[in-house]
Amino acid sequence: MDASYYERIGGEPGLRAIIDDFVGRVFSDLMIGFFFRDVPQKRIAELEYQHAAEFLGGPVQYKGRALAAAHQKHPILGGHFARRTQLLRQVLQAHSVPADIQSAWLAHTESLRPEITAQPDGQCID
């Protein structure tokens, strides 16, 4: 039996290290960090962990709100979404995540765009 993506990146400890790095970068980022100023970083890290673990085949279920509902009150533009994706790409590379997992994770992230913003990649249009 083949190992899941979750197992291949080190299970819970490996994924938590990736997520903690990612969330730290998101919170401190000048372009998108302001979206998180009133949200506990630990809570976001846990929800990001659950969401990623479920996608990666881990024994975890995402328990947060539906993504569209969670993001609808925020004016998230295409450029904001692209910045978050770039930060994720940087973190995956920094943690030496295998290329096939990086590609799958980034493709999954892009598939969620319509739930977060209606704007195309990298554009901040009205």
Query: Would you state the pLDDT for residue 79?
Result: 87
CA 55 to chain centre: 11
What parts of the chain have a pLDDT lower than 50? 122-123, 125-126
Task: Quote the pLDDT of residue 108.
Answer: 96
Question: Which domains, ranges and CATH numbers included, belong to the chain?
Answer: 5-116 (1.10.490.10)
Give me the pLDDT at residue 126, please: 46
Cα–Cα distance list, 43 to 4, 38, 46, 47, 72 (Å) = 25, 11, 5, 6, 18
CB within 8 Å of 39: residues ≥ 6 apart: none
Minimal CA–CA distance to 27: which of 12, 16, 43? Answer: 43
What is the model's pTM?
0.88
